[in-house]
Structure 1
């Protein structure tokens, strides 16, 4: 199962880098979202997919899930949601001001004042 998750993480990273390198601001935002999803999946996979029992230790329990990767990913999801919301508001304001979402057109030229 870890091999499949590694390929899925690689595909998410590949798609994210492709979208981040584009000119459209909306595609860049979608790419950063995909990048964060790939990182979350990578953290969960690195934490181990084994452990069928809940993370409660009792007498004689030898197989249990590790709660640390799950807690870290949950925190990272909340942070990624906040950053994505901020970037969306920033992109909307830039579109209102400049009437374009093309990053090369946003740079302007040396003659613009």
Structure 2
């Protein structure tokens, strides 16, 4: 069995990042991750093609397991991304997203 976690030192990561079960977690070197985010296993966050833009993830974002966030996309603040989702478009703040492709299924009330 192989264990893998790719989290290059060039990533811009805000304080408070939590990684649960980091096996299979792959993050591209140009990704931006905001403060107090959660990442789970078997997740890929990266660009869609060589030389393409990379995702920017806002603050207080929870990413479920087996999620792909691909391309030059912006994920807003206080977003929950459900397990198995594929994100290829911008996601506004304060929502729950799920599916392939990811779509808004619920609005989160402000904390």
TM-score by length of 2: 0.21
**Counting strand residues as a fraction of each chain, which structure ranks higher?**
2
- Higher alpha-carbon Rg: 1
**Counting helix residues as a fraction of each chain, which structure ranks higher?**
1
TM-score by length of 1: 0.21
